[in-house]
Amino acid sequence: MFNKLFKKIGQFRSLLWFIAGVLFAIHVVFGHKYKIIYNIGESMVPNYSHKEFLILERPPSEKDWAPDRFDVVVFSTTGWEKLTKRVIGLPGDTIEIREGYIYLNNKKLSEYCIFGKGRISYTLVDENENDLRYWNGSQKGEIVRKYVDKVPSLVPEGHFWVIGDNRPNSWYGLGRIENIVGVSLF
């Protein structure tokens, strides 16, 4: 009876060692080049969902590396927060926003581009009463949406300009290339 029990324990131990070996091999082969993260937020909808896992390729250690235009990158901001956004502007590019539309090097990005939809906008809210303001003859309770205008600005060396695919509900701005955690593979 004890012989059978020891034999089963030995088989179980062998199975655990085999699983540990496979996991170690996967980590050695893929662990330094790839990373899996959990995406939180809806700024990349419809291309990436809230609470979706993403497989990232870590950036190379070369100093002159930069992501490609329209890559989806995950980068760190101040503190522990990481953002998932699409790269629009690279070092040397000029970015401008007119009436919520993005202009890259004086050319309007197509609204029907497969990546981003919608115009960059915001909703006006009265901070004192948490009630919507009255603009251009709007009625109380009516949502007032304004479109963003931003003067042309040059993307400096070592930086990139990003926005989420869900443009009306996304943060946009500059990030540092050195803060990129990875580039999404899918």
DSSP code string of 97-126? EETTEEEETTEEPPTT-SS-BS--EEE--B
CATH number (domain holding residue 137): 2.10.109.10
The boundaries of the domain holding residue 132 are: 35-184
Q: Are residues 28 and 43 in the same domain?
A: no
Q: Are residues 113 and 136 in the same domain?
A: yes
- In this prediction, residue 142 carries a pLDDT of 57
- In this prediction, residue 10 carries a pLDDT of 73
- In this prediction, residue 143 carries a pLDDT of 59
- In this prediction, residue 132 carries a pLDDT of 45
Q: Are residues 16 and 108 in the same domain?
A: no
Question: What's the average model confidence in pLDDT over 111-122?
Answer: 72
Q: Are residues 64 and 151 in the same domain?
A: yes
User: Which residue would you say has higher pLDDT here, 152 or 113?
Assistant: 152
Count of the separate structural domains present in the chain: 2
User: Which residue would you say has higher pLDDT here, 165 or 10?
Assistant: 165
Q: Are residues 175 and 84 in the same domain?
A: yes
Q: Are residues 12 and 40 in the same domain?
A: no
Q: Are residues 56 and 22 in the same domain?
A: no
- If pLDDT is split at 50, 70 and 90, which confidence band does 179 have? very high
Question: What's the average model confidence in pLDDT over 11-21?
Answer: 86
At residue 123, does pLDDT exceed 90?
A: no
Q: Are residues 67 and 6 in the same domain?
A: no
Cα atoms found within 13 Å of the Cα of residue 177, Cβ hemisphere only = 20
Place of tokens 């004086």: 106
Residue 100 · residue 120 · CB < 8 Å? yes
At residue 156, does pLDDT exceed 90?
A: yes
Q: Are residues 169 and 96 in the same domain?
A: yes
Q: Are residues 166 and 110 in the same domain?
A: yes
Q: Are residues 23 and 109 in the same domain?
A: no
Q: Are residues 77 and 95 in the same domain?
A: yes
